[in-house]
């Protein structure tokens, strides 16, 4: 029963997407190409010649960068899908109120929206992974597991951000999320250079953000260098963020909609 309600919300979002996908599809496919070509090959050419092998663990910059970008892109996709669409439905169009007048319940809304975000992430990250493989940036068959890891990384952001969005009445709060959350994490969570290159006091900051864990795990898998202990820690952190976010989102939806 619960699952069925959530699937109806996924169906709703898919219906909306069917009308709007053309706008985003080009960037979804072209984005990975441009990033991997310019940063992986272009910039990477200089990096590799500069004797970086020791720092990067003996692999090309492209192979180092690609899985990190994959996780970072999951974060960005998730952040976008968890902000404006949710606020629109909760505040502007009030379509959640319409859904709640049917057998759909508040939890169905939360699970359904996150379910749809997971679908979107699977699609976007799947394309990224294929492009990555085409660039020869994948070193191990374990890289297929990068797909669920990237989706999980996305959800570790999506769930708490959905909770935040459900407390907002205007979109001005989202600026802060992107400016002080998404963008710095994108730059400093080990995507472009190892976290141990960060100034010493900043390193622990990176450790407690989900992106660092997503990046490191995705990289370990695609390079085929999985160390069970850190990998386990990464997974636990990502799951904890997602689960904590779900709990917050359920409470926020209830407080906002069950008045």
Please give the Cα distance from 151 to 5 (Å, whole number). 22
Q: Please name the residues in contact with 249: beta carbons below 8 A apart, sequence gap of 6 or more.
A: 110, 114, 159, 160, 162, 163, 166
Number of H helices, E strands in the chain: 13, 0
Q: Which is nearer to other proteins, 8 or 139 (CB)?
A: 8
Q: Which of 42, 93, 183, 236 binds other proteins (CB under 8 A)?
A: 93
Going by C-alpha positions, the residue among 56, 58, 77, 51 that lies closest to residue 211 is 77
Joined together, the tokens standing for residue 135 give 């660039």
Asked if 3 touches other proteins (CB under 8 A), the answer is: no
Asked if 10 touches other proteins (CB under 8 A), the answer is: no
Q: How far is the CB of 112 from other proteins (least distance, A)?
A: 11
The backbone torsions φ and ψ at residue 50, rounded to the nearest 5 degrees and listed phi first, read: -85, 15
Q: Which of 98, 144, 187, 208 binds other proteins (CB under 8 A)?
A: 98
Q: Which is nearer to other proteins, 88 or 244 (CB)?
A: 88
Q: How far is the CB of 124 from other proteins (least distance, A)?
A: 20
Asked if 12 touches other proteins (CB under 8 A), the answer is: yes
Asked if 103 touches other proteins (CB under 8 A), the answer is: yes
Please give the Cα distance from 152 to 20 (Å, whole number). 25
Please give the Cα distance from 56 to 64 (Å, whole number). 7
Going by C-alpha positions, the residue among 82, 226, 98 that lies closest to residue 160 is 82
Asked if 169 touches other proteins (CB under 8 A), the answer is: no
Q: Which of 25, 30, 97, 243 binds other proteins (CB under 8 A)?
A: 97
Q: In this chain, which stretch among 3-11, 60-68, 74-82, 118-126 interacts with other proteins, using CB under 8 A?
A: 3-11
Contacting positions for other proteins (CB under 8 A):
1, 4, 8, 11-12, 15-16, 19-20, 88, 92-95, 97-105, 258-259
């Amino acid at each position: 029963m619960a699952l069925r309600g959530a699937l109806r919300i996924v169906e709703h979002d898919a219906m909306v997407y069917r009308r709007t996908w053309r706008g985003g599809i080009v960037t979804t496919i072209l984005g990975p190409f441009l990033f991997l070509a310019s940063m992986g090959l272009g910039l990477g050419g200089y990096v590799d010649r500069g004797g970086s092998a020791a720092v990067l663990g003996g692999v090309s910059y492209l192979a180092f960068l690609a899985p990190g970008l994959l996780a970072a892109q999951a974060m960005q996709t998730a952040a976008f899908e968890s902000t404006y669409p949710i606020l629109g439905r909760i505040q502007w169009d009030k379509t959640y109120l319409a859904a709640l007048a049917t057998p759909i319940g508040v939890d169905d809304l939360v699970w359904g929206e996150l379910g749809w975000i997971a679908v979107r992430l699977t699609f976007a990250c799947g394309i990224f992974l294929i492009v990555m493989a085409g660039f020869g940036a994948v070193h191990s068959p374990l890289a297929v597991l990068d797909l669920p890891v990237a989706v999980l990384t996305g959800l570790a952001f999506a769930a708490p951000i959905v909770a935040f969005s459900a407390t907002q009445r205007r979109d001005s709060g989202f600026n802060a999320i992107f400016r002080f959350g998404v963008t710095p994490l994108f730059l400093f969570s080990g995507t472009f250079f190892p976290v141990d290159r960060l100034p010493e006091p900043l390193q622990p900051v990176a450790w407690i953000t989900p992106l660092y864990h997503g990046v490191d795990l995705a990289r370990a898998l695609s390079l085929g260098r999985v160390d069970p202990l850190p990998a386990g820690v990464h997974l636990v952190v990502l799951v904890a963020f997602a689960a904590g976010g779900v709990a917050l989102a359920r409470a926020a939806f209830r407080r906002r909609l069950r008045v």
